[in-house]
Amino acid sequence: MKKLVYISLIALAGLSSTSCSNDLLDTYAPGALTEDVAFQTSSDLRLLLNSVYAATSSRSEAEFVSVFTDECGIGVANGGQGLTDDYVFFLTPTSGGPSALWANMYVALARINRVLEYSKKITPVDADDAKVIARIKAEALTMRAYCHLVILSYFTTDMKSDSALAGIISDRIFAPEDNDRPRNTNGEFYAFIHSDLDQAISLYTANPAPGIDPTVANVNFTKGLKARAYAYKGDYTNAETWANQVISTSGVSLATKAQYQGVFFNESNGAAQEVIFKLKRTAQQNAQGTNLHNAWCSVRPNAAGSPFYEVSRALYNLVATNSANDVRFRTIVAPSSIVDPNYATSPTYRDSDVLVINKHGGVATGTATWATTGTNGNNNDFKIMRISEMYFIKAEARVAAGDLTGAAAAVKSVLDQRFGSSQTVTYPSATAAWKGILDQRRIEFAYEGYRFIDIKRLGTLANAGIDRHPADYSSSTSNFPGGNPANLPLNSYKWALPIPSLEINVNTAIQQNPGY
């Protein structure tokens, strides 16, 4: 943990100009702006918490998940991206995806723990300011739970086992000598996560905000995280309880067919439409080249924009079944795509079948093509939780309870909005229901960072794993046998990511996952 604490200190220095921490640095320069001096008001706390949101708004999760699983195919402009690592399931402790997930979460946690520590020391100017500080604390607790849940889900070998190892619980500001720490168990992680979320809900309840802002960690996100955490654990009784509460009390509704593309393309959705929590992107971040779509293309998300990853053929075939009616088809697949009806036998598949990823592309209001101008241009916010997830959790809970009709009804609620008309959903068996839910989550949350965890936790129940069309990993111009789905069965050790070398190198007590 020591290295990550130092990383966080560097980040804090950028926030507070010359900030330093007495628990990290032995020397002290008279007149230096220490953390004790820097954080004296609720506004100072807000600035620090904003840096938490910035630290967690990396596209690394969505990018890694899309390439490592089955959301992406190799693009026409691919210059070697993924061909020797993520796309062929090659993972080591130095791999970029797992390292970024681990580091980003722990950098954020180091800042969160400072927010919580200094929230105790700031004297509010009045009663209203005290409520502001309480809500900031609630946001910090929610984000701390979120970060821990991300770490658990990717790095544990079994999300449903209390005894399996997760990561390292970050519950305070760590001193330099406190860097050798073993991993905590899932049971300890889940208890800590729910404790933070329960505290946050109490604070939100006692100090209600004047309105719900989806760009900050709000009470709806806190409750939704409880539903998500219980679903990950396989505790569907509690998962359904919290999912139902979010559905019935959040005031957030599913986007209609007419509204859906605006959620991803121009951020036209209001606070009560679809999005429970999203990480707001700024023009400065866009200028730095950290927008989402550049995870899959060099320039812009259209056929001429140098896509080095494209929509996988298997995902395209799944969503194209109802391309004329399902609004998610054109949300996922750009209009400029070149579709080869003979792709399966094409000797030049990569050149003849160009399926451009459209999601997160940034389009002007009322259009479905990429735009360089407009309210948000190509700098879309990162969606962390949407109300549709609560319906799918409810569907999972109904299957677990043996209620296939109830599961179908929950999925139908989502599909009716995506199609703009009443849909028929039936499941003849529990396996078919799990598979149907997994497929719909694959479409609904494509390129949003869900697929790896969804397969990890639902694949065995659905009897379904990585789904790539042969064209996605083999053609006359490229042959990637390592990308064969048979090389990553559901019992592969790679469904638990390697503990990164950046942690192992400074933490002698850390335990590596099996296989690495």
The answer to whether residues 203 and 296 belong to one domain is: no
Q: What is the pLDDT of residues 405-441, one digit of tens each?
A: 999 999 999 999 999 999 999 999 999 999 999 999 9
The answer to whether residues 297 and 156 belong to one domain is: no
The answer to whether residues 92 and 180 belong to one domain is: yes
The answer to whether residues 198 and 289 belong to one domain is: no
pLDDT at residue 391 in the model: 98
The answer to whether residues 89 and 203 belong to one domain is: yes
The answer to whether residues 180 and 308 belong to one domain is: no
Average pLDDT, the chain: 88
Q: What is the pLDDT of residues 99-113, one digit of tens each?
A: 999 999 999 999 999
High-pLDDT (> 90) share of the chain, %: 73
Structural domain includes residue 249: no
Residue 102 is inside which H or E element, if any? helix 96-119
Domain boundary among the residues 334, 352, 370 is at 352
Domain count of the fold of the chain: 2
Domain boundary among the residues 330, 352, 374 is at 352
Structural domain includes residue 228: no
Structural domain includes residue 67: yes
The answer to whether residues 333 and 204 belong to one domain is: no
The answer to whether residues 187 and 321 belong to one domain is: no
Kindly report the CATH number assigned to the domain that includes residue 498: 1.25.40.390
DSSP letters for 418-469: HHTS------SSHHHHHHHHHHHHHHHTTTTT-HHHHHHHHHHHHT------
pLDDT at residue 30 in the model: 53
Of residues 475 and 220, more confidently modeled = 220
Structural domain includes residue 127: yes
The answer to whether residues 151 and 51 belong to one domain is: yes
Per DSSP, the three-state class of 253 is: strand
Of residues 422 and 58, more confidently modeled = 422
DSSP-assigned beta bridge partners for residue 74: 309
Domain boundary among the residues 352, 373, 397 is at 352
Residue 5: pLDDT band by 50, 70, 90 thresholds?
A: very low
Structural domain includes residue 57: yes
The answer to whether residues 195 and 287 belong to one domain is: no
Of residues 57 and 503, more confidently modeled = 503
Residue 474: pLDDT band by 50, 70, 90 thresholds?
A: low
DSSP letters for 351-412: HH-B--B-TT--B-TT--SB-SSSSSTT-PPEEEEEHHHHHHHHHHHHHHTT-HHHHHHHHH
Structural domain includes residue 446: no
Structural domain includes residue 21: no
Q: What is the pLDDT of residues 306-326, one digit of tens each?
A: 999 999 999 999 999 999 999
pTM of the model: 0.91
What is the residue range of 68's domain?
A: 1-7+35-208+489-516
pLDDT at residue 285 in the model: 59
Strands 72-74 and 474-475: unpaired
Strands 309-311 and 382-386: unpaired
Average pLDDT over residues 86-106: 96
Average pLDDT over residues 86-96: 96
DSSP-assigned beta bridge partners for residue 357: 333
The answer to whether residues 77 and 185 belong to one domain is: yes
Per DSSP, the three-state class of 307 is: strand
The answer to whether residues 55 and 187 belong to one domain is: yes
Average pLDDT over residues 218-241: 98
Structural domain includes residue 215: no
φ and ψ at 434, to 5 degrees?
-60, -40
Question: Which residues have a Cβ under 8 Å from the Cβ of 235 and sit 6 or more positions away?
Answer: none
pLDDT exceeds 80 at position 281: no
pLDDT at residue 280 in the model: 85
